[in-house]
Structures are given as structure tokens and as C-alpha cells.
Amino acid sequence: MKIFSAEQLYEADKITLEQQQITTEELMERAGAQIFNWFHERLNGASVPIRIFCGIGNNGGDGLVLGRLLIEAGYNVIVYVVNCSDKRSKSFLYNYNLIKNVTTDWPILMTDKNDFPEIDPEDIIVDAIFGIGLNRSLDGWVKKLIQHLNASPAFKLAVDIPSGLFPNTALKDEDAVLRANHTLTFQTPKLAFFLPETAQFAPSFDILDIGLDRDFLVNTKPLAQIISKPEAQNLYKHRERFAHKGTYGHALIVAGSYGKIGAASISTAATFRIGAGMVTTFIPKCGYSILQNTVPEAMVATDIEEEFLSKINVDFEPSAIGVGMGIGKSDKTVEALKSLFKNYKSPMVIDADAINLISENKELLKLLPKNSILTPHLGELQRLVGKWKDDYDKIEKVKEFSIKHEVLVVIKGAYSITIFGDTLYLNSSGNPGMATAGSGDSLSGVITGLLSQGYDPLTSCVFGVYMHGFAGDLAVNQMGYEAVMANDIINNIGEAYMMLFAKDQSEGENN
């Protein structure tokens, strides 16, 4: 599924009107009807009071269409017009006149001289005040109205986007945004729904298809791409009947230091579970017995040093390398990493301490194999690209880093984002139960295992992140959020493969 910018969606509207030979008012009627259908399916004529707050632009026009259709169906509706300007859109005025034909209770005009209405907890608030065209923070009495609505425990439903929230730019005033319980968004979700600083205002949403031009939606490069089950199904490579372990590669995991051999064990197990044919793990001598016991399927090669890595040397050509998990920050490890980058030119997965060492030794950036995959957590990312002002600035900094160094970067977290050049891929699987030590090590193993099997770097990234999250969702369904450990994620990778093509499998808790 694609995410488009506000500008792209306005272009989609324009092309839709031209190609389908309809008016703005007809497209608005279509959108309002979709919202009405959503309501009617759930309320089925219930007499709960529905308070619709309409702005005086096209988002307000959508609210007026909804109000008229609900009134015609016998619902208990009160419509308010938030009269914040003397400029009204043509489509708003058109629908304002239509609603007068179905009720003698005309919309209540709200101005800065009005008291705000009292709202019962059992009421439903519909926010149709501002849409995706808003380009400044709300202030004055309109901001106070938003705060009044937020203070109510009543259920709050936003039309297209919560008022005050920008679809693809940073917030300036959190107190001037409606905190919706649910959002009915048109055609595609908005980027703001997926970022930590703004997702709180749209914690759940449904997407309403309003019939925008299909050619535009299919052929236009989006602001971002959401990876969910259908996309993951298309990325999966079916296995060959006459395959053998060599068919799916011999991966090398370079990991571990004294006290952190668990990171090597976890990433090795994940590399196997995702499907690598063979895995050799290169570790300091102190981890030899641990690896042989915890992952007996793996081959183990050891450094000459007992407690850290000093020189990475194996007697085979790896099909993929994952490096950095728990390796520490010894000076000799820096040299070992430098030698690895010089001698191995194919894309590799770079995580954890390897990223920290790169941040502290910038000369390593020049040696990164092209199309390598970096998987930092937020602290590691900040050390790598510098501090950011907000989520959008963070994304821009990572884009610049990706383009400059020709690498892929995974920003880990809820809705993990893979950035490749100027393109974003947002992951739909995963849950808070995966916020546990070793989860990142298992992700590095998953991506390395896919690279080993011949998946290209971008596919390894987006498919790996999805499958890792999917396995985490399955683990949470069995154990609850608090009990999940990294090995539980790994142990559910097989089930995730089994359920990938099952039609009734839910995908975590996104909407």
C-alpha cells in the first residue's frame, strides 16, 4: 500500500475529476457516503447523539454530507459550523445548502463569541474541521475548541485526518491537534499516522476507498510504501524441489565479546530459522563452547583473542555477512572491522557495535560495501547521523546518509522504516512485546539469512523486517507482551512462514 503526500493527493483529486468527468461535489458525496456506510454498519440506527463539527473548507463539506445522510437515516445528529474565516469553499457552501433541505435544525454557527457546547461522555464527536490542506498550527478560539473536544471522554472520530495534524510535515503545537480515537482516512493513510511524535493523534484508522484515479495511484511514486501481508507474499521466494543446503548459502555471523556471546547465539539462530543453508559464526575464543551448545547446527570459528575480536579470518567465501552484534569497541576490533570492509565487497548487514565503531571512526564509512544494510536502534542512529529536530528531520537525515554512502538503513521501532535513497518502506507487523534485549540481534540474523539465500538487499530488508515482526506478533499471541524474549521471536519464524499465506491471520495491532 502506498502513502502519498498532501500535494500528491490533491493532484489525484484533480485527475480523478478530469478522468471520471465528475465534479468536486460528486467526489465529496462519494466520500461522505463512505463515512455514512461505516457509521451505519456499526450503529445500525442507534439513537446515540452524533455531534459533527465542520470547518468551512472541503473537510467541512465532507462532514456536511455525512450529517445530511445520517439525518435522512433517522440518526440523532447535531451539526456545528466552525466559522473561523470569511472564506468558504464552493463545495462547503453547496453542501451547506443541501443539509437545509433535510432538517429544520440548521447547523449551529460557532464563532469566538459562542460558548462551546457541553458534550456527554456517551456522545460521538465527528471532527471534520480541517483536512490535509492545513499548513499552520491552530490558534485562538479554534485551538481552544480543539482542547475542549480533547477534554471530553466522548468517542472522537476524525474525517481523513485529525484537525491540526499535518499529513507529512512536523508539528509545531501538540496542544492544537485533535486526539482522535479513530480516523476514517480517504484512499491511503497519511505518513503522520506512523511516526512516534504524531501517531498518538491517530492511534487507529480505517481506509475508505473513494475511487480516486487508479492509474495515478498505481503509477505515481509515493512518499512511502507500507509493507503488509500482500506485499510480503509477493516478496517470498518459493523453494526448489531439488535444492540442497548449498542452494541457500553459507552465511557468516561476526559477533560477540566477553559477556555478550548471547548476541552471537541469537543472531546465528535467527539466520538459520529464516532459511540460510549453512552458518559459520566468528567469535572470540571465550564463546566457543557456548555457541556449540546453544546452536549446534552452526560451525564456529574463533579469533586468536580470548575476549574480543582482533582479526576476522575464515576459510570460505561467505554468501552473506552479518557483523557487529555484541562485538564491543576494542581498538583491535576497529582494525578487524576495517579489514573486513576492505576485503569483502558484497552487501552485508551491519548492526550494533559495528555501527557505533563506524560513528567513532568515520574513515570506515568510505569502506562500506555498496548496498549494505545498517540496522541501528535510535541511540546508534543518532550517533551515526547526528541529532534531529523531529521525526521528519530524522528521516531526511537518514535519506541523505543513505544516498551519500549508498547503503540501506532500517530505523527500528514501531512501524520500522527501511530507507533506501529517497524511498521509505514502512513495516506493518510487530508490537511492543518485541522491545526486549536481543530482538535487534535476531533481526540482523533474519536479514543476513535472507541475503544468504539470494534475496537482493532491499528485499532482504523489507521482507526480513516484516517476517521478524510477524514472528513477534505470533509470539505475543501466545505469551503476552511482557513475557516475550528474543528467542521466542526466533522460534516463531517457522510459524510466520506457515501463516504468510493463511487468509485468516491477523497482522499485529496496527489498525
> Which segments are annotated as binding site for K(+)?
59, 127, 163
The x, y and z cell numbers of residue 222, run together, are 509515493
Residue 424 is classified by DSSP as E
Q: How many CB atoms lie within 10 A of CB 109?
A: 10
Annotated binding site for AMP: 412-416, 440
Distances (CA, A) of 478 to 323, 429, 434, 446, 507: 31, 16, 13, 21, 14
For 340, the grid coordinates are 573486513
Phi and psi of 469, rounded to 5°? Answer: -65, -40
Residue whose entry in the numeric block shows the C-alpha cell 514502512: 426
Q: What SS3 state is found at 71?
A: helix
Binding residues for (6S)-NADPHX are: 58-62, 131-137, 160, 263, 326, 377, 441
Query: Amino acid letter at 381?
Result: L
Closest CA to 267 of 486, 466, 492: 486
DSSP 238: P
The secondary structure of 189-229 as a DSSP string is --GGGGSTTTGGG-SSEEEE-----HHHHHHSPPSEEEE-H
Give the SS3 label for residue 270: helix
Q: Where are the beta strands (DSSP E) in 257-407?
A: 278-283, 299-302, 320-323, 349-350, 373-374
What are the cell numbers at 285?
575464543
Beta bridge partners of 126: 52, 157
Measure the CA–CA gap between 94 and 212, rounded to whole angstroms.
21
The answer to whether 164 and 134 have CB atoms below 8 angstroms apart is yes
CB 457, CB 373: distance < 8 Å: yes
Strands 224-227 and 2-3: antiparallel
Residue 295: Cβ-neighbour burial (10 angstroms; 0-12, 13-18, 19+)? buried
* Binding-site positions: 58-62, 127, 131-137, 160, 163, 263, 326, 377, 412-416, 440-441
Distance CA 365, CA 375 (A): 15
Q: Which three cell numbers stand for residue 37?
A: 456506510
CA distance 82 to 55: 5
Copy the grid coordinates of residue 265: 547465539
